[in-house]
Structure formats: structure tokens, C-alpha cells
Amino acid sequence: MLRTVGLSQEPAGYTSLSFLHPQSLPEQLRTAHGSAVTSFAIHNVTSSTHDYHWSISLVGPESISRVHAGSVRLAPGRGAEVTRSIAITCTRGAVRIVVSLESPAESIHAWIACRP
């Protein structure tokens, strides 16, 4: 009743972005070239359908490269899981796996140390 007379608003909602199995991501590459399987979940906790455009990038000491991109349409209260394999070259320092959403602008990160 309060909402109909303009004294209360619908809850804003939010989008959830998370790694599904963060413990399965390698902490260190034992060779200069390796791979990792990255799985993440997007969950629409709003009252409307959203198109989520996502990307997976590798950020190294001297470069940034987008390795995968896609989109998913989610109805209110729904979620999706995405799994991709990533080829990684890591010769010094560390490389960061970044999973990003365009809108809302959100990202999650995982660091992988290069072999000493």
C-alpha cells in the first residue's frame, strides 16, 4: 500500500559475480606455459531481466589480453554458470585472471604466480 502512494520503493536489487571453484585455480605455474579452467557464476537479484556482457582477461606485468567474451540474458532471480579454459603464458612476476561484467561494472580477480 505504501508503494502505491509513493512512500516506499521497490528494493533496488543487485548482481552477484563469483568464481565457482576458486580453490581449483592454480596458485603458481610450474612452467612458462600452462592453462587454467575458470568457472564463474552470474546471478541476477533484481526485479527485471538483464543482459550481462562478460569477459575474461589476462593481465601480466607488461600486457593485457582479452581471452574470452560472451553474454547471457538472465530473468529476475536467475543465475548462469560459465566455464572456459585459458592458455596462460607467465615468465616472471604474476599474471592475473580478471572476469568482468560491463554493466553493472563489476569484476573478480585471481592471481597466479609465475615460476621462479
pLDDT reported for residue 42: 98
> 25-64: per-residue pLDDT in tens?
999 988 888 899 999 999 999 999 999 999 999 999 888 9
Domain boundaries, the chain: 14-113
- Using pLDDT thresholds of 50, 70 and 90, give the confidence band for residue 4: low
**Yes or no: domain 14-113 corresponds to CATH 3.40.50.2000:** no
pLDDT reported for residue 30: 85
Residue 5 has pLDDT above 70, yes or no: no
Query: How far is it, in rounded angstroms, from Cα 56 to Cα 53?
Result: 11
- Sign of the torsion angle spanned by Cα atoms 84, 85, 90, 93: positive
Which residues make Cβ contacts (< 8 Å) with residue 33, sequence separation at least 6? 87, 88, 89, 90
